[in-house]
Amino acid sequence: MRLIFMLSVVLFTGFTVPATAASPTDAELARVVAYTTFLESHPFDDKAPAMRAWLLDWEDKRKDIIDVVCAEVLAPIPSNDVAYSGELLAQFIFGSAANQLTNPKEKGKLVPNQLAGMRSLLKAYATILQSKPNARNPRFDELSRQEANGTLESFLTPVITASCKGPYS
């Protein structure tokens, strides 16, 4: 519940992750990327809640990772009416953070990090559907089709540039 509330506040108020720590160590970077990738393919694993908690806590302490969360990009989440809304929103944030760590030249660039977050969310969504087909969502189905067709970037870029407000917009 705390995760959904915190992420709901973040989404609708717009935010950047508060900064308190220096650059990540190689071990932290590896852990962020490994956890993010693991959660994309194992969102219901017994270790998933602890991994999400660690990632959220880690990111909350960063000053070198800035995630902009845009309501129009993520619609229809967060919502109690969307299955696994909290997990999907968290996955978006983790995907964006992992992209900034593994592609330092994209740090501070809105479009690449929004796309990385969405791609991570869509991977988790596809995995969720394998065991929970009733979790289907028309918006994420459309975005999944766009990704499969190679058109996700051209589809989302106008949405990102028109609707995202943050330190890099």
Question: What's the pLDDT at 118?
Answer: 98
Residue 138, class by beta-carbon neighbours within 10 Å (0-12 exposed, 13-18 middle, 19+ buried)? exposed
What distance in Å separates the CA atoms of residue 136 and residue 99, rounded to the nearest whole number? 26
CB 61 within 8 A of CB 24: no
**Domains of the chain by residue range:** 2-163
Integer Cα distance of 69 and 165 in angstroms: 9
Going from the first residue of the chain to its last (169 residues), give the mean pLDDT of each consecutive group of 10, the final group possibly shorter. Answer: 35 36 75 97 98 94 84 94 96 96 90 96 98 97 98 97 72
What per-residue confidence (pLDDT) applies to 112? 95
Task: Say which residues have a Cβ less than 8 Å from residue 7's Cβ, sequence separation at least 6.
Answer: 69, 78, 86, 89, 90, 93
